[in-house]
Structure 1
């Protein structure tokens, strides 16, 4: 599903215009992004948890040359599905 399809599905389910649905999607994505940037978790009961995970710096290898290289520490976004979502996916 792409953004347009999501926007149309939200508009249909919420019985709002496509423009209102698009603004709502932007607001939700913006709120989740802001929370993650601030280091907070976003918990949506029944759906899941958005959180950040830190990765320590480590030594890797260039697969072409075998040369060792340092991989910098990083932070990435992660999603952990909730129990209800897992149950629905298992039935699918």
Structure 2
């Protein structure tokens, strides 16, 4: 599901909310998750999941199409 689909579903289930308001709410929530992760904080949404940043060492990889 992409963000626009999420917004459409929320708006459809909440006809008392304007589509633009739903879009702003979703954007605020997602922006706050991103901001917290940029500050190396963990975000937990009970009953859904958690988001956190993990740092890993760089490694060599190859492009399966080009072989490079």
State TM-score, norm by structure 2: 0.76
How many pairs align? 64
Please tell me whether Structure 1 or Structure 2 has the larger radius of gyration of its CA atoms: 1
Structure 1: gaps spanning 5 or more residues: 66-92
Higher strand share: 1
State TM-score, norm by structure 1: 0.59
Q: Which runs of 4+ in 1 moved over 3 A?
A: 61-65
Provide the residue aligned with 1:41 in structure 2: 42
Aligned Cα root-mean-square deviation (Å): 2.1
**Which one has more relative contact order, counting CA pairs under 8 Å at least 6 apart?**
1
Structure 2: gaps spanning 5 or more residues: none
Matched, 1:8 2:8: yes
